[in-house]
Amino acid sequence: MTDEFIECLIGKYSAAITCFCFMGGDAEPAEIERISRLIKGLYPGMKTAWYSGREHLPEGFDIKVLDFLKLGPYIETLGGLKSPDTNQALYRISEDSLMERILL
């Protein structure tokens, strides 16, 4: 996914979208961070989110480039985010870069 493609995609649909969500990308967290920073620079009002299967945020990842973060691999027997037994967690990233858990 090139920067030009992202700019074109968001530009085309900017009136209809409020959040750019990354699904996966666990093998290249630095790229998730870089693209999210690009989006925030080009579209300051656009929210960014990362649905990651990682159990923990990668060391050195700049959390302030995200507005939302989901951590934890999907394990069918534990269910998704709405399950009381889930191993996954959804967070809102605050202005001061704190991870505030969102309960569904």
Q: What is the average pLDDT across 14-43?
A: 95
62 to each of 6, 8, 58, how far by Cα in Å? 20, 25, 9
Predicted pLDDT at 49: 98
Q: What is the pLDDT of residues 61-71, one digit of tens each?
A: 999 999 999 99
Distance CA 99, CA 93 (A): 5
pLDDT for res 1? 79
Q: 48's torsion region: left (phi>0), alpha (psi -120 to 50) or beta?
A: beta
Provide the pLDDT confidence category of residue 92 given band limits of 50, 70 and 90: very high
Looking at residue 12, its pLDDT comes to 94
Tally the C-alpha atoms within 13 A of residue 67's C-alpha that lie toward its C-beta: 12
Q: H-helix or E-strand containing 37?
A: helix 29-42
* pLDDT for the residue 22: 97
Of 42, 39, 41, nearest to 20 by C-alpha is 39
Q: What is the mean pLDDT of residues 9-27?
A: 93
pLDDT band per the 50, 70, 90 thresholds, residue 102: very high
Mean pLDDT of 47-58: 96
Residue 104: pLDDT above 90? no
